[in-house]
Amino acid sequence: MQVVVTYESRTGNTRTAAQLVAGGLKDAGAEVTIGPVDTPDFKALADADLVVVGTWTDGAFFLGQRPGGAGNIARSLPDLWDKRVYSFVTYALNPGRSHEKLADLLEAKGARSLGASAFHRNRLQDDASTFVDGIIDYYGN
Ligand SMILES: Cc1cc2nc3c(=O)[nH]c(=O)nc-3n(C[C@H](O)[C@H](O)[C@H](O)COP(=O)(O)O)c2cc1C
């Protein structure tokens, strides 16, 4: 399986989370290309069976949460017609619906969203591992 993991990150948490997801998928046998959203690997995206997109939670901590860098993601990623995508956000206190809004953004680009999660920035390892298990379960069935 060919996977692209791409992320938007200001202070490194989401990059770390993306690296954990990529590592878990590689361990499961996937061929993984990883990089920031603003330098997309168009060939890898075109060839991918699955695209994973991660970003951070922006907002006023308890209200107005949204995917950070959403404009950048919308601008930088090409259309993802019928691509299967999983997405995640990292957060500090309360992600609200930011992960669902990220999935909506990707669906607006034509993707088929199979799952959207929120990883607490202090539990990246555990939350990334659960996320990867969900992907492996889906492809194992
Ligand atoms: C401007 C700004 C707004 C944020 N708003 C929220 C928020 O509403 N809820 C929340 O849980 N975390 C919020 N955070 C925390 C980040 O989402 C969190 O630290 C995330 O892991 C940062 O990811 P990064 O290191 O990849 O940039 C905010 C951070 C910033 C810089």
Q: Determine which residue's CA is closest to atom 28 belonging to ligand 1.
A: 58
Residues with CB under 6 A from ligand 1: 9-14, 56-61, 65, 90-95, 121
Q: Determine which residue's CA is closest to atom 30 belonging to ligand 1.
A: 58
Q: Which atom of ligand 1 has the smallest separation from the CA of 7?
A: 26
CATH architecture observed for domain 2-140? 3-Layer(aba) Sandwich (3.40)
Is the Cβ–Cβ distance between 135 and 50 less than 8 Å?
yes
Q: How far is the CA of 67 from the centre of ligand 1 (A)?
A: 9
Q: Which atom of ligand 1 has the smallest separation from the CA of 16?
A: 26
Spell out the domain ranges in the chain.
2-140
Q: Which atom of ligand 1 has the smallest separation from the CA of 11?
A: 25
SS3 content of the chain, % helix, strand, coil (to 5): 40, 30, 30
Give me the tens of pLDDT residue by residue for the chain, a chain 141 residues long: 999 999 999 999 999 999 999 999 999 999 999 999 999 999 999 999 999 999 999 999 889 999 999 999 999 999 999 899 999 999 999 999 999 999 999 999 999 999 999 999 999 999 999 999 999 999 875
Q: Integer distance in angstroms from the first to the last C-alpha of the chain?
A: 14
